[in-house]
Amino acid sequence: MKTISCLSLLAAAASLLTLGAPACAAKLDSRIIAAARQSYVFTVYLEGDDIKIESKDGAVTLTGMVAENFHGSLAEVTLRDISGVTSVDNRLEVKGSSPTANSDAWLHDKVKATLLFHRSVKAGTTEVDVKDGIVTLLGRAESAAQKQLTGEYAGDVEGVKEVRNEMTVLTAAELKQLSTNEKIDDVSVAALVRMALVLHHSTSGLYTTIAARRGAITVGGRAKTAAQKELVTRIIKDVNGVKKVKNLMTIE
């Protein structure tokens, strides 16, 4: 009788474990989707896009339409940093036809994307016009330094031949009306850092690893020179949500 009782208990326990596995997996998948939807990247940068997220045991599939080509990349790198995600199958499509590589429309999108991730410049109030590879910047800057930095960032986009900076600087009265104190989650900060490094021509070819904790970024990888390593630090420091940077890159 005791043997039968023990066997019954073992069978019952195995049954509970079998039933519990799908429930745990479903809970994990729901948490992954919720984390993505609630992230700063999805609520701010990808708010207007039609992105569907499916997750099965941590394997994520992205489908739907995005307004810009880099939006798809941004969505993917954000999901890859969420705990529990094992893979990301990016099937997102761009609304309309994608611009031809190195065309003026393509350069326009890359310049706008590069400016978007940096807090020291204002992508929302910066107008970008590209003709024959020459970028003209219009709009408003908060200071002369911000205007200059906007021009430097635009000039560091691969394919840009020249930058003509015609931005105007805001008055003291206009500056008082501005306030930016947004809280950005670590998953989003890491994604923004990765995209910023890829979009800048000077750092796009570097091997880097990124870890974010409460806005503090630890970057690993390899740089060819000390100046290149310092450039990585400078770019990361200016990304939205970054509070400090610890650069552990080795110099080859």
Find all residues with CB under 8 Å of 139, minimum gap 6, and list them.
122, 125, 126, 127, 167, 168
Counting every residue written for the chain, the total comes to: 252
CATH of 104-176, one of 3.30.1340.30, 2.120.10.30, 3.30.460.80, 3.40.50.80: 3.30.1340.30
In this prediction, residue 3 has a pLDDT band, given cuts at 50, 70 and 90, of very low
Longest dimension (CA), the chain: 90
In this prediction, residue 21 has a pLDDT band, given cuts at 50, 70 and 90, of low
> Which pLDDT score, from 0 to 100, does residue 70 have?
87
CATH of domain 186-251: 3.30.1340.30
Whole-number Å distance between alpha carbons of 200 and 152:
11
Judged against a pLDDT cut of 70, whether residue 9 lies above it is answered with no
Domain chopping of the chain, boundaries: 30-98, 104-176, 186-251
- What are the residues facing 96 on neighbouring strands? none
Lowest mean pLDDT among 6-20, 114-128, 200-214: 6-20
Find all residues with CB under 8 Å of 5, minimum gap 6, and list them.
none
> Which pLDDT score, from 0 to 100, does residue 125 have?
80
Single-letter amino acid, residue 41: V
Closest Cα to residue 217, out of 227, 225, 208? 208
In this prediction, residue 1 has a pLDDT band, given cuts at 50, 70 and 90, of very low
Whole-number Å distance between alpha carbons of 159 and 77:
24
| Domain 30-98 matches domain 104-176 at the CATH topology level | yes
Instruction: Give tens-digit pLDDT for 150-176.
Output: 999 999 999 999 999 999 998 877 666
Q: What does the block give as tokens for 204? A: 């796009």
Q: What does the block give as tokens for 135? A: 């970028």
Tokens 């992508």 appear where?
123
Whole-number Å distance between alpha carbons of 60 and 3:
45
Instruction: Give tens-digit pLDDT for 135-154.
Output: 999 998 989 999 999 999 99
166-198 CB burial, b ≥16 within 10 A, e <16: ebeebeeeeeeeeeeeeebbbbbbbbbbbbbbb
Instruction: Give tens-digit pLDDT for 23-63.
Output: 677 899 999 999 999 999 999 889 889 999 999 999 999 99
Whole-number Å distance between alpha carbons of 96 and 93:
9
Dihedral of alpha carbons 201, 114, 177, 167, sign: positive
Whole-number Å distance between alpha carbons of 202 and 14:
56
Mean pLDDT of 68-77: 91
Instruction: Give tens-digit pLDDT for 185-229.
Output: 999 999 999 999 999 999 999 999 999 999 999 999 999 999 999
- The half-sphere exposure of 183 on its side-chain side, counting CA atoms within 13 A, is 2
To the question of domain 30-98 being in CATH 3.30.70, the answer is: no
Task: Give me the torsion for CA of 55, 58, 61, 64, rounded to 10°.
Answer: 50
> Which pLDDT score, from 0 to 100, does residue 183 have?
77
